[in-house]
Structure 1
Amino acid sequence: MKAYVFPGQGAQYPKMGLDLYEKYPEAQDLFNQANKILGFNITDIMFEGSAEDLKKTNVTQPAVFIHSTIMNEVLANNEKPDMVAGHSLGEFSALVANKTLSFEDALKLVSKRAEAMQKACELQPSTMAAVLGLEDELVESVCAEIDGVVVAANYNCPGQLVISGEIAAIEKACEELKNRGAKRALVLPVGGAFHSPLMEPAREELAKAIEETNFNTPICPIYQNVSTFAVTNPSEIKENLIFQLTSPVKWTQSVQNMINDGATSFTEIGPGKVLQGLVKKIDRKMVTSAPEL
């Protein structure tokens, strides 16, 4: 069974999508449609902007979504997935791939999500940190001991967990995690505490937009970050998507469940190769690839 997986924020790079635009007329149509939906020419930034230009949240999230979704549309002429998943932002690309959301509706939600997250970041200074070389349970227990908001945010693969929260609490947690044997506990260059309770204002804002959007019955299950199990019910998909911003990304658990349910290969669709690496760390025997375009 074929699993398609879609990357999240951080996978962007200069000139992303230009090869698709130049090679495929259907890609050109979708890029032009994206510019109209967003109200500005994001293609100018994607194709000609610097790495710094692409780091702005209102650009990064739509850019990664657009690249992944258009790559899948070009690929979809040949084959369909048996199951899909996306890492954080990538979940929106996955929901277009399995026909739950239209390209237009998903892009509008991604744009709204980026704006809402940016506002939440500005309300309270916050950050995230990568923790390497410790059991998940130990990281969780250390976070629980720290004064202030600090929680496990991204379960990326065994021995790699990202924590999220208030700056002072993250710094204290990093010190303690190093004392407990972490190979690394490194504060990340991000603008806020994604997938933590500090994203509650963004969750509330995005929830309204999600509730007003039409979700179709998908052509194959999605394994969502919040629940980690196969979901096909549109109402359940909506609810999981609403709580994604304040809940951890359970990537390790999602991939393990996909393998348990029969996944034999994982194709990463979108910029970068991060998810292929994570899948291999979760199960080294698993076949991983990127689409040939």
Structure 2
Amino acid sequence: MTTRVAFLFPGQGSQAVGMGADIFASSPAAQRVFAAADDALGFSLSDLCFNGPETTLRDTINAQPAIVTVSLAYLAALQEALSPGEPSSWSTPLTPAFVAGHSVGEWSALPVAGALDLKETILAVRERGRLMEHEGTVCPGGMSAVIAMDEEPLRQVCQEATEQALAELAGATTHPGQGRVIIANYNAPGQIVISGEKRALELAGELAKARGAKRVIPLAVSGAFHSPVMEPATQGLAKTLAELELRETALPIIANIDGTPLTDPSRLRQELAQQVASSVQWVKTIQYLVEAGVNTFIEIGPGQALAGMVKRIAKGVTIMNVGNASEVAKVAAQLREQDVLA
């Protein structure tokens, strides 16, 4: 059977103090990624990744560029390990058929696909984080994982919670996200995340538990990402994207919004701007990749959340993780044995 590979990049919540320090110590290619990010931002993002403090790293404005940088550092190290002493790039010698990322992970995919260079990506991601953090301050809200509840009843819960929250406000809204809650992440069967303004989110959590959800778990995030609370951020992000020269991609990026492949710069701009206020269709993303013949998924970056999701969505596929230096060496050895290099 022909091996067909997809690279997957994690989103916010995967950050942890110390991430990337091991690969920085052992890989010149990873060192170049961290140096480029530090140079672009004008401060030592690498030191923040390696040493914290955790509260600063967790801030959305820092967490997002940090996750993208660390993910790309591990990818650079993997490609370097696959071709010792030879030239390598984001997509050689191991060339994926597709790339995809969960939320901010979609930005990690941009340099790999050839849409933007590393420095442009890091600067734009920091602005994305700033815009999203701002809306989280203007219209406080959050996100909660709802365990063991199907999509349709949960969608109904969100609609009813929104109606009740808006009724309590009696029309006194000053922000498009006020009183609203939606399904934000379709992560895997039985693993759905809701997101919204604080009161609406509370009401939805109460309704979900009353109607049979096994658990409702608040997530440690600074705002209601992928909900109407983020709608003003889409406008600021659209302006940032308009100033960037996105190129047609050499590799298809699977869109968070609808789980379809993107290569065209104009569609990419629309996806990247609207994505912050739209649901992440991760189940559709993985289903599309499986139907397109992908049988090997490599999660590249901190944590193993995406690998767990893939296991719940797709059966009979190979899943690898590249999230520390030992995994870089292990996966490189596996790939050489399987003879899947370009």
Q: How does the TM-score come out when normalised to structure 1?
A: 0.97
The aligned residue for residue 108 of structure 1 is 123
Whole-angstrom distance in 2 between the partners of 1:60 and 1:287:
29
In the TM superposition, structure 1's runs of 4+ consecutive aligned residues that sit over 4 Å from their partners are none
Q: Is the 8 Å Cα contact of residues 72 and 97 (structure 1) preserved in structure 2?
A: no
Whole-angstrom distance in 2 between the partners of 1:268 and 1:237:
22
Alignment of 1:155-170 (within 5 A): 155-170=186-201
The aligned residue for residue 126 of structure 1 is 141
Question: SS of the residue aligned with 1:263?
Answer: coil
Q: Is the 8 Å Cα contact of residues 258 and 284 (structure 2) preserved in structure 1?
A: no
The question of 1:229 aligning with 2:260 is answered yes
Whole-angstrom distance in 1 between the partners of 2:123 and 2:140:
26
The aligned residue for residue 264 of structure 1 is 295
Whole-angstrom distance in 2 between the partners of 1:168 and 1:26:
47
Measure how far apart 1:73 and its partner are. Answer: 2.1
Supply the AA of the counterpart residue of 2:305. V
Question: SS of the residue aligned with 2:71?
Answer: helix
CA RMSD of aligned residues (A): 1.2
Give the paired residue count.
Answer: 293
Supply the AA of the counterpart residue of 1:68. S
The question of 1:255 aligning with 2:255 is answered no
The question of 1:217 aligning with 2:248 is answered yes
Measure how far apart 1:112 and its partner are. Answer: 0.3
Whole-angstrom distance in 2 between the partners of 1:105 and 1:282:
33
Whole-angstrom distance in 2 between the partners of 1:286 and 1:138:
30
1:59 aligned to which of 54, 57, 62: 62
The aligned residue for residue 182 of structure 2 is 151
Question: SS of the residue aligned with 1:189?
Answer: coil
Whole-angstrom distance in 1 between the partners of 2:50 and 2:197:
35
Measure how far apart 1:54 and its partner are. Answer: 1.9
Measure how far apart 1:210 and its partner are. Answer: 0.7
Q: Is the 8 Å Cα contact of residues 222 and 231 (structure 1) preserved in structure 2?
A: yes
Question: SS of the residue aligned with 2:65?
Answer: helix
The question of 1:28 aligning with 2:31 is answered yes
Whole-angstrom distance in 1 between the partners of 2:32 and 2:290:
35
Larger Rg: 2
Q: How does the TM-score come out when normalised to structure 2?
A: 0.83
Measure how far apart 1:26 and its partner are. Answer: 2.3
Deviation digits for residues 231-281 of structure 1 (CA, Å, limit 9, x no counterpart): 222211111111101100110111111111111110000011110000001
Deviation digits for residues 86-115 of structure 1 (CA, Å, limit 9, x no counterpart): 000000001111111111111111010011
Measure how far apart 1:53 and its partner are. Answer: 3.2
Whole-angstrom distance in 1 between the partners of 2:29 and 2:251:
23
Whole-angstrom distance in 2 between the partners of 1:36 and 1:128:
33
Supply the AA of the counterpart residue of 2:271. N
The aligned residue for residue 117 of structure 1 is 132
The aligned residue for residue 97 of structure 1 is 112
Measure how far apart 1:171 and its partner are. Answer: 0.9
Q: Is the 8 Å Cα contact of residues 33 and 72 (structure 2) preserved in structure 1?
A: no
Q: Is the 8 Å Cα contact of residues 126 and 192 (structure 1) preserved in structure 2?
A: yes
Supply the AA of the counterpart residue of 2:263. T
1:13 aligned to which of 12, 16, 19: 16
Measure how far apart 1:187 and its partner are. Answer: 2.1
Whole-angstrom distance in 2 between the partners of 1:57 and 1:241:
17
Q: Is the 8 Å Cα contact of residues 268 and 289 (structure 1) preserved in structure 2?
A: yes
Whole-angstrom distance in 2 between the partners of 1:155 and 1:208:
28
